[in-house]
């Protein structure tokens, strides 16, 4: 049985071993095990990694879009707050599960463990 791509199965929030079972039981809460292949997700600990990568992806995008909008249209400064705060929140909340899924899938694929002396 070939393993699924960790990137694709992670973006779909699926099991790193079979690519079919759901990785999360709620928004960011991991399921105890895969419903399809019974892989125990006890190994998975992505820590703050997903949040860091989401920040690195969303922040430049929002800044570039804000600069483009400011150069193209004449809008009041408060309107930037109305546009970019919700956009930032929605993008961050939307990208957190897939990024966490990718990191957990990569952790499984490379058999990553906690560092020990």
The 10s digit of each residue's pLDDT in 82-97 is 999 999 999 999 999 9
Look at residue 97 and tell me if it is in a domain.
yes
Look at residue 66 and tell me if it is in a domain.
yes
Range of the domain at 69: 6-109
Look at residue 92 and tell me if it is in a domain.
yes
Residues 6+ apart with CB under 8 A from 96: 28, 50, 51, 54
Number of separate domains in the chain: 1
Length of the chain: 117
Q: Angle CA(21)–CA(26)–CA(29) in degrees, nearest 5?
A: 90
Look at residue 42 and tell me if it is in a domain.
yes
Look at residue 116 and tell me if it is in a domain.
no
Q: Which pair of structure tokens corresponds to residue 75?
A: 């809008």
Look at residue 13 and tell me if it is in a domain.
yes
Question: Which pTM does this prediction carry?
Answer: 0.89
What does the pLDDT read at residue 1? Answer: 60
Ranges of the chain whose pLDDT falls below 70: 1, 116-117
What does the pLDDT read at residue 81? Answer: 95
Rounded Cα–Cα distance for residues 5 and 99 (Å): 14
What does the pLDDT read at residue 113? Answer: 76
């Amino acid at each position: 049985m070939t393993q699924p791509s960790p990137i694709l199965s992670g973006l779909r929030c699926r099991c790193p071993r079979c690519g079919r079972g759901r990785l999360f039981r709620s928004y960011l809460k991991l399921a105890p095990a895969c419903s399809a292949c019974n892989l125990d997700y006890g190994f998975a600990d992505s820590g703050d990694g997903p949040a860091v990568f989401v920040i690195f992806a969303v922040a430049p995008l929002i800044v570039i879009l804000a600069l483009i909008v400011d150069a193209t249209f004449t809008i009041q400064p408060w309107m930037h707050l109305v546009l970019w705060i919700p956009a930032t929140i929605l993008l961050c909340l939307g990208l957190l599960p897939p990024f966490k899924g990718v990191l957990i899938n990569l952790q499984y694929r490379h058999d990553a463990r906690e560092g020990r002396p």
